[in-house]
C-alpha cells in the first residue's frame, strides 16, 4: 500500500512562506503535540523556519500538515488555526492590508500578495447584483484525501477574519460557499462563520454587500499601506537563487556593520566580479538587494518602536538625516511620518 504522505502530485514546483509552516507548528503545540519530531520526520528544521526569506517546498508543507493532522487528530485543523493563531503579525502583508482605504482595496492587495504565502494560490472576484465575492480558485495541485479540506478551510476562515477586521461587526459577510461537502457534524463551522453556508459548491466564495466593501474606512492610511504593499511586491519578484542568499547574508551582516559587497562575496566563496556577474544574470545587483533589505528592516524596526537614530546606525547610515532622506525617497514620507501614521491607524 502506498504511503499517503508520498502522494503529493504536482506540489514540487510550488513553495509556501515559512510563516505558513510556523502557524501549523504553533497550532500543533497548542493542541498538546510536540512538533520537533514531526519537523524532523518531514525533513524540515525549525532554524530554517525562523530564517527571514526562507521558503518551504509545497510538498514538504503538505507533509507537515498531514503529520500534524494525524498527530493531533484534528481533521478540522485548518478551521482551528485561524481561530486560535495570529494570522500574519507585524509583517509587510499584514500592514498593507490593515491600513488600506477600503476593504475592496485590501482584498485587491490580498489577491496580489497571496502568491507570497503560497505560490499555488489563485484568487478572483465576482459581483452579482448588490453582492460581491472573493473567490478561491481551485489549485492545480492535488492534496492528499486526508487533508483535502485543510487548504479551503484555512483560507476561508482567514478571509472571513480579515473581512471582520476591515468592515467591523455591522458589515459581516452575507454567506459562504464551500467546495467541500457538509461534514457529519457542521456545528463548529456554523459557530465560527454564522449565517448561510452552501456546501458542495462549484467554488469557494465569501460574499459581502458591495457597498460595504467599497466604503472608505475611517482608520485607513494609504501611505502606510502603499509602502508595505510595494515592498512586499518587490520582495515577491526577487529571484529564489543567489539573490535570496545574498539578502539573507546582508540581513545578518548589517547588524554587525559588515554588509560590504566584499564581505558577502567572501561568505559565499565567490570573487566580487563573479558575484556581480551572477546577480546580473538574475536581473539584479548587490546595491539593489542591499536597498531592498534596508527598506524591509526599516519598516519592521519602525513598527516595533525602535528609535529612528538607532535604526539609522543598524542599517549602516552615517547619520539619521541620511536615513530619513533615503526613507522618504523610497516611500514618499519620512520615518517619523510613517510611524505617526501607522500609530494612528492602529
Beta carbons within 10 angstroms of residue 64's beta carbon: 25
Residue 222: C-alpha distances to residues 89, 230, 304, 338 (Å): 19, 12, 20, 11
pLDDT bucket at 87, cuts 50 / 70 / 90: low
Question: What's the pLDDT tens digit per position in 235-266?
Answer: 665 445 788 788 888 888 887 788 889 998 88
Rounded CA separation 289/53 (Å): 13
CB 343 within 8 A of CB 304: no
User: What number of H helices and E strands is found in the chain?
Assistant: 18, 7
Question: Under DSSP, is residue 127 helix (H, G, I), strand (E, B) or coil?
Answer: strand
Q: What are the pLDDT digits (tens) for 91-113? A: 788 888 989 999 999 999 998 88
Mean confidence (pLDDT) of the chain: 86
C-alpha pair distances (Å), 311 with each of 146, 210, 249, 330: 47, 42, 18, 16
Name the maximum alpha-carbon separation found in the chain: 66
In CATH, 238-345 is 1.10.287.70:
no
Alpha-carbon distances, residue 295 vs 107, 203, 277, 312 (angstroms): 24, 38, 24, 12
How buried is residue 319: exposed, middle or buried, by Cβ count under 10 Å (0-12/13-18/19+)?
Answer: exposed
Read off the pLDDT band of 1 (50, 70, 90).
Answer: very low
305 CB neighbour count, 10 Å cutoff? 8
Banded pLDDT at 6 (limits 50, 70, 90): very low
> In sequence order, which ranges of 103-184 are alpha helices (DSSP H)?
103-117, 150-167
**Single pTM value for the model:** 0.74
Least confident of 1-10, 24-33, 76-85, 198-207: 1-10
Q: What does the pLDDT average to over 300-329?
A: 89
**DSSP labels, 172-227:** ---EEE-SSPPPS--HHHHHHH-SEEE-S-SSEEEEEEHHHHHSBPTT--HHHHHH
- For the purposes of burial, counting CB atoms within 10 Å of the CB of 340, is it exposed (0-12), middle (13-18) or buried (19 or more)? middle
Topology of the domain comprising 4-214: H-NOX domain (3.90.1520)
Yes or no: say if 155 and 118 are a contact pair by the CB < 8 Å rule: no
Cβ contact 8:59 at 8 Å: yes
Q: CB within 8 A of 239, min separation 6: which ones?
A: 282, 283, 284
pLDDT score recorded for residue 248: 81
pLDDT-based confidence at residue 171 (cuts at 50, 70, 90): confident
Label residue 47 exposed, middle or buried (CB < 10 Å: 0-12, 13-18, 19+).
exposed
Q: Residue 189 corresponds to which cell in the numbers above?
A: 463551522
Q: Please tell me whether residue 297 adopts helix, strand or coil conformation.
A: helix
Domain boundaries, the chain: 4-214, 238-345
Report the candidate in 240, 263, 342 with the shortest Cα–Cα distance to residue 301: 342
Amino acid at each position: 500500500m502506498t504511503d499517503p504522505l508520498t502522494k503529493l502530485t504536482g506540489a514540487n514546483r510550488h513553495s509556501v512562506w515559512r510563516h505558513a509552516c510556523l502557524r501549523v507548528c504553533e497550532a500543533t503545540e497548542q493542541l498538546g503535540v510536540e512538533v520537533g519530531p514531526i519537523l524532523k520526520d518531514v525533513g524540515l528544521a525549525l532554524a530554517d523556519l525562523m530564517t527571514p526569506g526562507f521558503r518551504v517546498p509545497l510538498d514538504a508543507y503538505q507533509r507537515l500538515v498531514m503529520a500534524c493532522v494525524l498527530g493531533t487528530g484534528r481533521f478540522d485543523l485548518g478551521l482551528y488555526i485561524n481561530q486560535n493563531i495570529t494570522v500574519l503579525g507585524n509583517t509587510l502583508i499584514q500592514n498593507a492590508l490593515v491600513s488600506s482605504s477600503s476593504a475592496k482595496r485590501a482584498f485587491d492587495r490580498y489577491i496580489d500578495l497571496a502568491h507570497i504565502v503560497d505560490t499555488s494560490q489563485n484568487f478572483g472576484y465576482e459581483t452579482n447584483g448588490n453582492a460581491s465575492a472573493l473567490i478561491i480558485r481551485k489549485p492545480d495541485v492535488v492534496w492528499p484525501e486526508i487533508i483535502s479540506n485543510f487548504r479551503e478551510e484555512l483560507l476561508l476562515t482567514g478571509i472571513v477574519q480579515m473581512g471582520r477586521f476591515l468592515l467591523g461587526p455591522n458589515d459581516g459577510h452575507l454567506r459562504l460557499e464551500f467546495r467541500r461537502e457538509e461534514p457529519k457534524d457542521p456545528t463548529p463551522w456554523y459557530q465560527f462563520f454564522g449565517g448561510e453556508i452552501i456546501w458542495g459548491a462549484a467554488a469557494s466564495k465569501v460574499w459581502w454587500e458591495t457597498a460595504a466593501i467599497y466604503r472608505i474606512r475611517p482608520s485607513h492610511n494609504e501611505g502606510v499601506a502603499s509602502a508595505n504593499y510595494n515592498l512586499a511586491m518587490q520582495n515577491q519578484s526577487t529571484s529564489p537563487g543567489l539573490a535570496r542568499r545574498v539578502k539573507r547574508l546582508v540581513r545578518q551582516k548589517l547588524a554587525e556593520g559588515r554588509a560590504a559587497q566584499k564581505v558577502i562575496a567572501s561568505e559565499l566563496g565567490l570573487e566580487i566580479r563573479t558575484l556581480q556577474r551572477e546577480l546580473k544574470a538574475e536581473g539584479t545587483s548587490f546595491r539593489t538587494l542591499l536597498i531592498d533589505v534596508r527598506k524591509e528592516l526599516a519598516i519592521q524596526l519602525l513598527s516595533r518602536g525602535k528609535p529612528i537614530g538607532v535604526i539609522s546606525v543598524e542599517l549602516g547610515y552615517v547619520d539619521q538625516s541620511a536615513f530619513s532622506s533615503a526613507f522618504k525617497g523610497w516611500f514618499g514620507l519620512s520615518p517619523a511620518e510613517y510611524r505617526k501614521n501607522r500609530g494612528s491607524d492602529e
